[in-house]
Homo-oligomer: A and B are copies of this chain.
């Protein structure tokens, strides 16, 4: 460990060639007390403009950067946010992460991202580990039980994304709305037997979709078969092709685009025409849903907006104890993976029926 002589005092060069320059160095070099330097950065209005600019100049020249650990120690705020997701590699999350990160940075916060691999135990571990080094945690589509979340909540400020827990601040996408729209779209096209290709157990979103789809089909006197639960990846979507065919359903709503795409390709591979024989609808509108052929009809989730809203809620939480719950709108995007079903009305009628159902 190299020792470096500097300004008459010994300093440890933690990283070779790098000497940490502190507030004290700046103070000495500009002939003021350290508290003045501190204030120059954290409460500029309290220091004489002249002094301030002098301090800033020497700080700049010396290459001073405030030590956030020290600051955190005394203020109790780290200016870090934890963001926990089930799977970074799932294309649903990156836009959310990106938005949250950019938004946080604009408020001088940094984001720690952690990946739970869809495992509730890892999830709990991560929250605990992160709790002390962040000012709050964004819990995305958690797989933990409500109880566990309640418990964790006592250790660290929390905002939950895509799960509704009473008394807990949350940002949810109203996926029920999107699912209803999707099912109505399929019914309007003349499909009377649908499949819901379910997502992972423990997912609030999954329950919401299932409930919405069930209610809407039932109300229309149509049939809904639920296949699942499944891991929300393409493989399971592809693997479900067989089962889907066996149900004789003509339309499928999948828990997410990944599964929808997997299913779509598997169906095509075994010679099933999409949307000629089977219509497929996804959820999320990930970047690839517009790239596959046929382009995927899907429910667009405002993930970026959700990320931003969650960051805002978390940062506000410090000020007052108000725990809001924000619901974001989701919308059906009709592309080419859905087409007329066996009971398709005449084109002229189509609009009329749609109008009626929507009222």
List residues of A whose CB falls within 8 A of some B CB.
12, 14-18, 20, 63, 65-70, 72-73, 76, 78, 80, 87-89, 91, 94-95, 97-98, 101-102, 105, 110-115, 117, 128-133, 154-157, 234, 261-262, 265, 268, 287-288, 291-293, 321
Task: Name the CB-closest residue of B to A261.
Answer: B291
Q: How far does the alpha carbon of A229 sit from the alpha carbon of B294 in the complex, in Å?
A: 30
In Å, the complex CA distance between A102 and B88 comes to 11
Quick one: which of B65, B101, B114 contacts A110, CB cutoff 8 A?
B114
Q: Which residues of B contact A117 (CB under 8 A)?
A: 102
Task: Point out the residue from B15, B89, B102 that lies within 8 Å of A287, measured CB to CB.
Answer: B89
CA distance A286 to B309 in the complex (A): 30
Residue in B17, B80, B98, B292 whose CB lies within 8 Å of A88: B98
Residue pair B88, A94 in contact (C-beta under 8 Å) = yes
A110 touches B94 (CB 8 A): no
CA A321 to CA B15, docked complex, whole Å = 10
| CB nearest to A88 among chain B residues | B94
A110 near B129 with CB under 8 A, answer yes
Set of chain B residues within 8 Å of A131, measured between Cβ atoms: 65
Chain B residues contacting A20 (CB-CB under 8 Å) are 76
Q: How far is the CB of A158 from chain B (nearest CB, A)?
A: 10
Measured between alpha carbons, how far is A91 from B132 in the docked complex, in Å? 31
Residue of B with least CB distance to A95: B89
A132 touches B68 (CB 8 A): yes
Q: Which of B16, B66, B156, B291 is within 8 Å of A288, CB to CB? A: B291
What copy number does this chain have within its complex? 2
In the complex the two chains form, is B18's CB within 8 Å of A154's CB? Answer: yes
Residues of B within 8 A of A129 (CB): 110
- Chain B residues in 8 Å Cβ range of A130: 110
Residue of A17, A130, A288 contacting most chain B CB atoms (<10 Å):
A288
In whole angstroms, what is the CA distance A20 to B63 when docked?
34
Give min CB distance, A359 to chain B, whole Å: 38
A18-B154, A293-B293 in contact; A73/B69 too (CB < 8 A)? yes
| Shortest distance between the CB of A20 and any CB in chain B (Å) | 8
Task: Take A111-B112, A291-B234 as given contacts and tell me if A128 and B65 are in contact as well, using a CB distance cutoff of 8 Å.
Answer: yes
Asked whether A69 lies within 8 Å of B72 as measured between CB atoms, the reply is yes
| Cβ–Cβ contact B157 & A15, under 8 A | yes
CA A15 to CA B93, docked complex, whole Å: 28
Shortest CB-to-CB span from A308 to chain B, Å, is: 14
Bound complex: CA of A14 vs CA of B292, how far in Å? Answer: 50
Residues of B with C-beta under 8 A to A65: 128, 131-132
Interchain CA distance A102-B291 in the complex, whole Å: 30
Q: Which residues of B are found within 8 Å of A76, using beta-carbon distances?
A: 12, 14, 20
Q: Please name all residues of chain B whose beta carbon is closer than 8 Å to the beta carbon of A265 when the two chains form the complex.
A: 291, 293
Further contacts, 5 of them, CB under 8 A, given A97-B113, A113-B113: A68-B133, A88-B97, A88-B98, A89-B287, A262-B291
> Pick the contact of A115 from B101, B112, B288 — CB < 8 Å?
B101
Nearest residue, chain B, Cβ from A128? B65
Assembly CA distance A102 to B261 (angstroms) = 28
Q: How many angstroms from the CA of A356 to the CA of B73 in the assembled complex? A: 66
**Interface core residue of A17, A73, A133 (most chain B CB under 10 Å):** A133
Residues in B whose Cβ lies below 8 Å from that of A63: 155
